[in-house]
Structure 1
Amino acid sequence: MDRYFHLSRTHTYSLLFAVPLLVLYEAGAAYLAQAGGPALRNGADVMLRTLLAAGGVQGTLAFTGVLLGAALLVVVLERRRRRVPLRAGVFGAMMLESVVYALLLGVVVGTATQWVLEGMRLRLAVGSAGVGELPLLHAVVLSLGAGIYEELVFRVLLVGGLAGAFLASGLPRTRAGGFAALLAALAFSAFHYIGPYGDPWEIPSFLFRFLAGLVFSVLFLLRGFGIAAWTHALYDVFLFVGRGW
């Protein structure tokens, strides 16, 4: 078991585990676009594309190529430093672990949110009005995009960047990770209310997303990007399917 947790936490397994999620999202978005529907992209995806476009990376193929190239580079560099054996069983166990976390997430975060809201005499409403109006396939594609791109932006870039900055300033590792997780969770929750497709501002939903962001940050810090991304995507998919799409 210790061997599994060690291997699954490596950059090699984490990134390779996340690649199918990226491919599924991009393939789904391309299929929906070819079917004549409106352009369907996750907000974090759009934000990253805009930033890279400013640097000259234009188009889906170039954008996806940059992401896959960066992931491959990290994997190659890690495997040059140390031996990381590739085992199919580890990927299978990582998927099972992600499914379990996804199933538990709504119960744990929802219960914690309701405990806080009870003291404020508020009630948690489950679901998102904007996404709830979409057909099932559209909702699933957006779920996959949320898993890969929101975890990339808010966990890899934001939590990782902030934790690194806090460590460089002299903070102990635990405090650096904790402060980074808190700030990233606030940004993650606030992100869902920005733009024309953002949800209406509500304290209950903001608190729920903040706590969910904390959970994803802890997963990222303890279990890596791949498991955090798949947990996020699967949670959203389970939520949409469970609501009767």
Structure 2
Amino acid sequence: MPLASLMFVAPLLVFYELGVLLLGPEAIRNGAEVWLRQILYTIGLGQYFFLPTLTVGILLAAHYLSRRPWYVRSATLWGMLVESLFLAGCLRVLLGLQAIAFQQLAQHGLMATGINIWSRSLAERAVAFVGAGVYEELVFRLIILNLVVGMARVFHPTPTAAMFSGVVVSSLIFAAAHHVGAFGEPFELFTFLFRFVAGIFFALLFVHRGFGIVAGAHAAYDLLVGLV
């Protein structure tokens, strides 16, 4: 339910945006957010609060089109929190299994920045990780995955084939995006493959559980790896 996703993600969105404003130049901006702001600035919509407002507007519009009731039970939101934490733990286990397969230490995370994030304060890292959960899922799942699925429907006769294309392509873009641009990380096969697998994990969550769960699980995973 888009309304449940909005209510669940709203505290994360507020935490990130207020954290960035309070930290000022010390804040670690999420790459996906920066890309979106550059696009909006190019078309004359560069006001700071336009992007979070647009995010809220997209989810409200999706809920309106779904024709579902305009209420969410508190038990639903608590359930989403528990599910997000559980799924973050599952992804952490998946990373550990891949690390064993590669015979490497499991000290690789989903950090969408080439900055030495470990030298930053706890608050700076927490803000960055929460921002990744919200804005990376907005870009790579809510926008790119749906766009790829829409285009694939032109070439694939079945919805399943189109969805498969969307999941794979969006996950490849998600993995590759961490290695491009001024703040991109040096390419490593381990991290690229893990992010590709994580992209598939998040894409399937988005398809079957919605934007709120995948954003929560992504933020929880980053916080788990980056802070704990």
Q: Structure 1 residue 198: deviation in Å? A: 1.7
Residues 168 and 82 (structure 1 numbering): CA distance in 2 closer, same or farther, change over 3 Å?
farther
Residues 67-89 of structure 1 show CA distances to partners (whole Å, capped at 9, x for unaligned) of: 223322333343xx243542110
2:72 alignment partner, SS class: coil
Quick one: which of 123, 147, 167 aligns to 1:181? 167
1:238 aligns with 2:224: yes
Residues 196 and 124 (structure 1 numbering): CA distance in 2 closer, same or farther, change over 3 Å?
farther
2:28 alignment partner, SS class: coil
Quick one: which of 110, 135, 141 aligns to 1:149? 135
1:12 aligns with 2:12: no
Q: Which residue of 1 aligns with 2:151?
A: 165
Contact 2:5 / 2:211 at 8 angstroms: preserved in 1?
yes
2:192 alignment partner, SS class: helix
1:64 aligns with 2:43: no
Contact 1:130 / 1:199 at 8 angstroms: preserved in 2?
no
Contact 1:52 / 1:58 at 8 angstroms: preserved in 2?
yes
**Structure 1 unmatched runs, 5+:** 1-9
Distance in 2, Cα, partners of 1:114 & 1:166: 36
Seq. identity, %: 35
The farther-off stretch of 173-182 and 42-51 is 173-182
2:49 alignment partner, SS class: helix
1:221 alignment partner, SS class: helix
CA RMSD of aligned residues (A): 2.0
The farther-off stretch of 174-183 and 203-212 is 174-183
Higher CA-based Rg: 1
Distance in 2, Cα, partners of 1:198 & 1:125: 20
**Structure 2 unmatched runs, 5+:** 110-114
Query: Which residues of 2 match residues 190-209 of structure 1 at below 5 A?
Result: 190-209=176-195
Q: Which residue of 1 aligns with 2:112?
A: none
Distance in 2, Cα, partners of 1:202 & 1:151: 22
Residues 176-212 of structure 1 show CA distances to partners (whole Å, capped at 9, x for unaligned) of: 2222111111111111111222211111111111111
Distance in 2, Cα, partners of 1:25 & 1:214: 25
Contact 1:113 / 1:208 at 8 angstroms: preserved in 2?
no
Structure-2-length-normalised TM-score: 0.89
1:126 aligns with 2:126: no
Residues 141-164 of structure 1 show CA distances to partners (whole Å, capped at 9, x for unaligned) of: 110110000001001111111112
Q: Which residue of 1 aligns with 2:12?
A: 21
Q: Which residue of 1 aligns with 2:61?
A: 73
